[in-house]
């Protein structure tokens, strides 16, 4: 209540209705958790619930002011955070293909923890140069993946930094809009934005399902196909809701990949229009402007 009253006076009453709460671990100078004390006890005993209570403070404050659907962008979460409008993102991550694959894994795991609203910094946060061809490819592959994530969001501290503005201590990162990386990249990202727009009603249905049943929006294959033994071993594909199978590209320069189609359904190749029965592996093209996406015909 103490914190919210100050937020209310300095932000909410001035028109700010949603908040980027950022670090909610809390942040530590030294990772010696047993030496930190919180109001509820030693950090080693109660530290994990800090993010949920942090989000709760803002959520309940806004509810008292009459807001119907408070939502906060937050860097950390714990079991129950979803009750308090927590839109979780994975933090200031590295701009690399290695880090990109970690985000895929993080998104699936947080969904299984019943926290459906999740996102990552497309292209990573640290180290991406707006003039580097490998980074542009990473950005494109990450964006193609993010189209089929619960929340699509551009963010990052791009290089090269510009000169400080108004006596700032640090320089300002380079532009990070979809048109900031040249025409070829822009044309591909614009195409992906249009795909995302076309999925709005479907994404709403996935969010409703998450609300009513607790189902994740990003799903492991075994969540949808528990009887298919092969689905339990797939580590580079996922389901977006019940309808779409997504096969991201996690390597620089890769233009083809193997895709497993789960047993028990028929699958339409969105890029080619062909339909196949599941229970098979197929070799798919993956040119820079698209990744393999399959629609579940009989879902």
CATH number at residue 289: 2.60.40.1180
Indicate whether 134 and 221 sit together in one domain: no
Indicate whether 185 and 281 sit together in one domain: no
Instruction: Say yes or no to pLDDT of 149 above 80.
Output: yes
What mean pLDDT do residues 197-202 have?
98
Give me the number of domains the chain comprises. Answer: 2
Indicate whether 151 and 276 sit together in one domain: no
Instruction: Say yes or no to pLDDT of 165 above 70.
Output: no
At which residue do the structure tokens 């083809």 appear?
Answer: 256
pLDDT at 160: 87
> Catalytic residues, which ones?
22, 25, 92
What mean pLDDT do residues 168-194 have?
91
**Residue 41 domain boundaries:** 2-203
Instruction: Say yes or no to pLDDT of 162 above 80.
Output: no
Pairwise CA distance, residues 286 & 271, whole Å: 10
Helical H segments across the chain, by residue range: 2-10, 43-46, 50-64, 97-112, 133-146, 183-198, 200-213, 221-224
Indicate whether 175 and 82 sit together in one domain: yes
What does the H/E/C string look like for 154-174? Answer: ECCEEEEEECCCCCCCCCEEE
Indicate whether 119 and 254 sit together in one domain: no
Domain final residue pick, 180, 203, 226: 203
pLDDT at 168: 64
Tell me the per-residue pLDDT of 237-274, one tens digit each, with 9 for 90 and over.
999 999 999 999 999 999 999 999 999 999 999 999 99
Indicate whether 174 and 222 sit together in one domain: no
Tell me the per-residue pLDDT of 16-65, one tens digit each, with 9 for 90 and over.
999 999 988 877 777 787 888 888 888 888 889 999 999 999 999 999 99
Please, what is the average pLDDT of the chain? 93
Tokens of 171: 């320089």
pLDDT bucket at 234, cuts 50 / 70 / 90: very high
**3-class state of residue 40 by DSSP:** coil
Tokens of 97: 């293909």
For the chain, percent of residues with pLDDT exceeding 70: 98
Tell me the per-residue pLDDT of 181-193, one tens digit each, with 9 for 90 and over.
999 999 999 999 9
Residue 72 maps to a domain: yes
Indicate whether 224 and 169 sit together in one domain: no
pTM of the model: 0.93
Indicate whether 191 and 252 sit together in one domain: no
Of 167 and 149, which is predicted with more confidence?
Answer: 149
Tell me the per-residue pLDDT of 200-210, one tens digit each, with 9 for 90 and over.
999 999 999 99
Pairwise CA distance, residues 237 & 244, whole Å: 11
What mean pLDDT do residues 68-73 have?
93
What mean pLDDT do residues 146-170 have?
85
Instruction: Say yes or no to pLDDT of 298 above 70.
Output: yes
């Amino acid at each position: 209540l103490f914190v919210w009253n100050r937020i209310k006076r300095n932000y909410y009453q001035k028109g700010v209705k949603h908040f980027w709460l950022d670090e909610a671990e809390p942040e530590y100078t030294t990772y010696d958790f047993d030496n930190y004390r919180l109001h509820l006890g030693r950090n080693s005993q109660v530290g994990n619930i800090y993010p949920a209570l942090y989000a709760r403070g803002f959520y309940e404050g806004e509810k008292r002011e009459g807001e119907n659907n408070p939502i906060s962008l937050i860097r950390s979460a714990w079991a129950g955070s979803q009750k308090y409008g927590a839109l979780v993102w994975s933090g200031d991550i590295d701009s690399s293909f290695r880090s990109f694959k970690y985000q895929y894994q993080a998104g699936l795991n947080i969904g299984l923890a019943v926290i459906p609203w999740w996102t990552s910094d497309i292209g990573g946060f640290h180290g991406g140069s707006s003039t580097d061809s490998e980074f542009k490819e990473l950005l494109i592959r990450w964006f193609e993946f993010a189209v089929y994530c619960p929340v699509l969001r551009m963010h990052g501290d791009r290089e090269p930094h510009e000169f400080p503005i108004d006596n700032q201590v640090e320089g300002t990162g380079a532009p990070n809009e979809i048109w900031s990386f040249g025409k070829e990249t822009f044309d591909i990202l614009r195409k992906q934005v249009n795909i995302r727009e076309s999925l709005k009603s479907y994404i709403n249905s996935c969010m409703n399902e998450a609300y009513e049943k607790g189902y994740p929006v990003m799903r492991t294959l075994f969540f949808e196909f528990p009887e298919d033994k092969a689905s339990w071993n797939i580590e580079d594909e996922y389901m977006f809701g019940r309808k779409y199978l997504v096969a991201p590209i996690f390597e620089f320069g890769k233009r083809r990949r193997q895709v497993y189609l789960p047993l028990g359904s028929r699958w339409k190749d969105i890029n080619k229009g062909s339909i196949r029965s599941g229970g098979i592996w197929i070799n798919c093209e993956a040119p820079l402007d698209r990744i393999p996406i399959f629609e579940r015909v009989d879902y």
